[in-house]
Amino acid sequence: MEEQPLTVLPRARTTYPVTVEADPQAEYSQFLPLAKWLLLIPHYVVLFLLGVAAGLVTFIAFFATIITGRYPRWMWEFMVGVQRWGLRVVAYLLLMTDRYPAFSLEPAPGDAIRLNAVYPEQVERWRPLVTWLLVVPYALVAALLFAVTQICAIIAFFTILFTRRIPADIQALMREGLRWQTRANLYLYWLSTEYPPFRWEEE
């Protein structure tokens, strides 16, 4: 009997189109946590202005998506950039990195925390109307995890102060809190159309 060739099925994609990666530090500056909130003042000002602009862009994108079934590419890139900027600032504020956040909407060389997202070529016209409701179950879990991240930051403050380190388990909890919160934000504003997965991810 002639042996039939094996059929190789395509491998299913397991990577969610919104990824958040964080590089843990082996050692942290011992007293920098005391001043990080103060050093971030310029970022607070810029993020406030970016938030105002993002509100306007979201308003325009709402109607553009309903009419065309597409999120205008430049608007999408701007919104993701605002999320990226905010993520850098939050990671620095919560002591996850000593690298000062870049003043940029784009990925910056040497970023300790990185947000990447895949542009959705098509967006269902109904999506801007209901994503705020669809995201609720995931957003509740994400909010809980982010609250845990903030508690972990308090613990990290003392571990850095006395040992210059953050325990690996604490770092993992904080990373997941930021990842879940970021994915909830992108889905809420229909920047990503695939529902965020309820799973813990290891790096």
The count of domains in the chain is: 1
Tell me the pTM. Answer: 0.89
| 52 is a domain residue | yes
| 15 is a domain residue | no
Could you read off the pLDDT of 38-96 as tens digits, one per residue?
A: 999 999 999 999 999 999 999 999 999 999 999 999 999 999 999 999 999 999 999 99
Residues 6+ apart with CB under 8 A from 86: 47
| 34 is a domain residue | yes
Could you read off the pLDDT of 96-107 as tens digits, one per residue?
A: 999 999 999 999
The residue type of 90 is V
| 5 is a domain residue | no
Q: Which domain holds residue 31?
A: 21-188
| 195 is a domain residue | no
Q: In whole angstroms, what is the distance from residue 132 CA to residue 113 CA? A: 26
| 134 is a domain residue | yes
| 65 is a domain residue | yes
